[in-house]
Amino acid sequence: MKQAVFKSTALKKPAADKTFSLFSLTWPIFIEVSLYMFMGNADTLMLSQYSDNSVAAVGVSNQILNLIIVMFSFIATGTTVIISQFLGSRQKKEAMEVAYVSIGANFFISLAISAIVFFAAAPLLHMMGLTSDLMPDAKVFLQVVGGLSFIQALIMTFSAILKSYGYTKDTMFVTIGMNVLNIAGNFVVIFGLFGFPVLGVAGVAMSTSIARVIGLIAMIVIVNKRIQLKMSLKKVFHMHKEHLRKLLKIGIPSAGEQLSYNLSQMIVTYFIAIMGAQALTTKVYTQNITMFILLFGTAISQGTQILIGRYIGGKQFDAAYERCMKSLYWALGIAAATSVLMTIFSKDLIGIFTQSPDIIATASLLIAMTIILEPGRSFNVIIINSLRAAGDAKFPVYMAMISMWGIGLPLAYLFGIHLGFGLAGIWISFIADEWVRGILMYRRWRSRIWIQKGMA
């Protein structure tokens, strides 16, 4: 099936009737996701000039914050799928109603979670096995960024709405702006520019939060102009029960899969904390670098999800099937090539963050192992998002629970702790988990059971 190329529209004209290519959706998403990852890496890179312990503290705090973001993301995930399906079946009024419901629901949920994180920061960090010397920095970062994390939840919701309508460039430009503000703020508070005191981790937390507040304001303005989504209390806080049910039917299982992953990663981080602060720091540096390998797959999967949602809404099931398979082949090839390239330059890349010979040696080995790891992850990134777009959201959760907790975690303890392989043993468990789940996801998509799951 030939795909028409997405054409730009007037500023105030919705894109509901437009069709677009995967590439036109994906390249802005790629830049946006890159910049979101860079935002975290910028904090790590700048703090590495301040203190390795600060890097470890922020790294552990981010494990908790990543879990919180998952709790917010289930509404945003459902929003992308349901709006895309409604637009695919040309139900514009219903698509707009879903947008309002998603904003109101995520606001209430995220505000409650943000308050819990602020007041329970210390107990949460103790559960992660954090040592006393890292606790002060980790606590202040978690309280500031976590306490204001409802702002990030709203940014995610508005971003999901814009992407569903095809406006992926707008979310990209907002992310660029937030990164510029965050980096500028980090320079000021870490290096004491313009007479400001050196604030370290606390300053980085404030810089990140201020950039997000400005980003949220920009998102609200853009959504209003692009699709005429007027922000009124009556519309935002009116919970349309049927639309909320659809959002939750997709969102809760999707969040369950991500929640399972992040909880398992918290336990893995606990295992690594047993190995010491250097192991934690090595993990943070390695994952900050290798996350860029996943960028291509993440961008392709999000663009694919939007397209498949439209196809499902329009009952074009063959087009949806082929779209997923083509996206998967691209993601596999790119993941393999990028992993090899990063392995070749691994020592130079790690050298950007640290000069410790032990950290560089271990991290280089871990990066080399991504040549096996990342192609397996591509199956999950592409196919799981495709299944969600088709309304088949429960199967990935069941498989995640079986694989992560039945294979990944036991192997992480066996190889990492019991047999003493250290971080290399942890990475072996990652490889086993991703490939088992990936093969299961591939079989599910090939079976076409998801055709029965369409919702709009």
The mean pLDDT value for 374-393 works out to: 91
The mean pLDDT value for 72-100 works out to: 85
Lowest-pLDDT range, 68-72, 205-209, 293-297, 379-383? 68-72
Q: What is the pLDDT of residue 41?
A: 62
Lowest-pLDDT range, 176-190, 414-428, 430-444? 176-190
Q: Is a pLDDT exceeding 80 seen at residue 402?
A: yes
Q: What is the pLDDT of residue 85?
A: 87
How buried is residue 419: exposed, middle or buried, by Cβ count under 10 Å (0-12/13-18/19+)? exposed
**Reported confidence tier of residue 227, pLDDT bands at 50, 70, 90:** confident
pLDDT greater at residue 452 or residue 327: 327
The mean pLDDT value for 354-365 works out to: 89
Pick the closest to residue 102 from 227, 237, 5, 208 (CA basis).
237
Lowest-pLDDT range, 1-15, 113-127, 293-307? 1-15
Q: Is a pLDDT exceeding 70 seen at residue 287?
A: yes
Burial 184-213 (b: 16+ CB within 10 A, else e): ebbbbbbeeeeeeeebbbebbbbbbbbbbe
The mean pLDDT value for 430-449 works out to: 94
**Reported confidence tier of residue 150, pLDDT bands at 50, 70, 90:** very high
Write down the mean pLDDT value for the chain: 85
- How far apart CA 286 and CA 291 sit, in angstroms, is 8
Phi-psi map region of 166: left, alpha, beta (phi>0 left; psi -120 to 50 alpha): left
pLDDT greater at residue 67 or residue 88: 88
User: Taking the model in full, what pTM does it have?
Assistant: 0.77
Q: Is a pLDDT exceeding 60 seen at residue 4?
A: no
Q: For residue 374, how many other CB atoms are within 10 A of its CB? A: 27
Q: Is a pLDDT exceeding 70 seen at residue 299?
A: yes
Q: What is the pLDDT of residue 19?
A: 57
Q: What is the pLDDT of residue 366?
A: 94
**Reported confidence tier of residue 14, pLDDT bands at 50, 70, 90:** very low
Q: Is a pLDDT exceeding 70 seen at residue 334?
A: yes
**Reported confidence tier of residue 454, pLDDT bands at 50, 70, 90:** low
**Reported confidence tier of residue 456, pLDDT bands at 50, 70, 90:** very low
Q: What is the pLDDT of residue 265?
A: 85
Residues 6+ apart with CB under 8 A from 455: 81, 82, 85, 246, 249, 250, 312, 391
Q: What is the pLDDT of residue 365?
A: 94
Q: What percent of the chain has pLDDT over 70?
A: 92
DSSP state of 255: H
- For the segment 162-185, what is each residue's pLDDT rounded down to a tens digit? 999 989 899 999 989 998 898 888
Q: What is the pLDDT of residue 203?
A: 85
Q: What percent of the chain has pLDDT over 90?
A: 36
The mean pLDDT value for 134-153 works out to: 89
Q: What is the pLDDT of residue 5?
A: 36
Q: What is the pLDDT of residue 70?
A: 73
Q: Is a pLDDT exceeding 60 seen at residue 6?
A: no
